[in-house]
Amino acid sequence: MIQEIEQLIQEIQQLNINSTEEAESIRVKYLSRKGILAQLFSKIGTVPASERAKTGAKLNAIKQLLQDKIDTLQHSLSETTAQFDFDFTLTSKPFHYGKLHPLTLVEKEVIQIFEHMGYIVAEGPEIETDWYNFSALNFEPHHPARDMQDTFFISLNPDVLLRTHTSSVQVRVMEKERPPIRIVALGRVYRNETITARANCLFHQLEVLYVDKNVSMADLKRDLLHFAQEMFGKHTKIRLRASYFPFTEVSAEVDISCTICGGKGCNVCKHTGWVEILGCGMVDPNVLNNVGINSEEYSGFAAGLGIERIAMLKYQINDLRLFFENDIRFLQQF
């Protein structure tokens, strides 16, 4: 009997069950009422009393082993069928695609235009020191121009602030690199402004900086005109109006011919035919000297554009707050 059991164990270990039919015939052969195991159980009385308990336990273990084998097979077969257990002819559920935020779309486009002109993307921190945001940019300590930018200071330390413009990145780049420098820097800027349709305490700017030997206003006009025409269409014109920024001398504001009426006059351009898009100028020699670039040898131009302003013109949006409210009805339109 013991021998028979040992043989049976070996036999079972080698069993390979591959289909439900095989599983069923194995079950009948070994586990049914007249199966091999039942027969062995019925012969247990012939085993010497001292061996009986051990033999019974062995037979039970074999029974379990077989049952496990059959169960595993059935489980794996049922999983395979479950994979295909649906109706391929059903129509799918509607799929909602995500969209890029309009500001992101504009940012990507603006960056690409400048990259094609040979500009490299630079970055700077949003938490800045007075040096990078103001002093190095030729804002004198008590210069009223500091008040033009309502600064958020961080804690009580007047030296640490949220940058009010991306011009701070100019200083960071010029301190590290030597000319020729041709960069654009994009990012968030912060000002303590009341939130209205035209102003927000957080917005986005793109800074443009080109420093090399003999850089002139002609270079500035060429690159900004190219940008405006790429962004708003090739018939777009630009005009420069004299302005003031502490870090540029001369300084100008740039208008483009109105994208809505083509210059004829409409609500958007307040019937002037022109809309303002950016500030710019020749980098003030003091700024170059502050960062250790010889202003006798080098010159440069800089510009700062508001991303929201460009997006508003491009998509004819008349309320700045829409960009920040994340209203899905607005965002879905881009």
Burial annotation 81-120 (CB, 10 A radius, 16+ → b, else e): eeeeeeeeeeeeeeeeeeeebbbeebbeebeebbeeeebe
* In the complex, least distance from residue 245 CB atom to ligand DAH, rounded to whole angstroms: 4
Residues that bind ligand DAH (CB under 6 A): 165, 167, 207, 245, 248, 279-281, 302-304
Report whether 233 contacts 246 (CB < 8 A).
no
* In the complex, least distance from residue 98 CB atom to ligand DAH, rounded to whole angstroms: 31
* In the complex, least distance from residue 309 CB atom to ligand DAH, rounded to whole angstroms: 11
Closest to ligand DAH by CB, 73 vs 308, is 308
CA nearest neighbour of 19 among 31, 27, 11, 29: 27
List the alpha helices (DSSP H) in 236-306: 285-290
Q: Concatenate the DSSP letters of all residues of 91-123 into one string.
A: PPPP-------HHHHHHHHHHHHHHHTT-EEE-
Bridge partners for 190 per DSSP: 202
* In the complex, least distance from residue 303 CB atom to ligand DAH, rounded to whole angstroms: 5
* In the complex, least distance from residue 258 CB atom to ligand DAH, rounded to whole angstroms: 21
* In the complex, least distance from residue 292 CB atom to ligand DAH, rounded to whole angstroms: 19
Backbone angles phi, psi at 284, to 5 degrees: -60, 135
Closest to ligand DAH by CB, 167 vs 257, is 167
Closest to ligand DAH by CB, 248 vs 257, is 248
For residue 262, give Cα distances in angstroms to 132, 221, 257, 324: 39, 20, 6, 29
Torsion of CA 67, 73, 76, 77, to 10 degrees: -120
Closest to ligand DAH by CB, 66 vs 287, is 287
Other C-beta atoms closer than 10 Å to the C-beta of 54 total 11
* In the complex, least distance from residue 274 CB atom to ligand DAH, rounded to whole angstroms: 18
* In the complex, least distance from residue 300 CB atom to ligand DAH, rounded to whole angstroms: 10
Closest to ligand DAH by CB, 62 vs 185, is 185
Closest to ligand DAH by CB, 102 vs 187, is 187
Bridge partners for 252 per DSSP: 242, 280
Closest to ligand DAH by CB, 170 vs 257, is 170
Closest to ligand DAH by CB, 30 vs 247, is 247
Going by C-beta distance under 8 Å and a sequence separation of 6 or more, which residues neighbour residue 152? 161, 162, 190, 191, 192, 201
Burial annotation 274-287 (CB, 10 A radius, 16+ → b, else e): bbbbbbbbbbbbeb
Nearest residue to the partner ligand DAH, using Cβ: 304
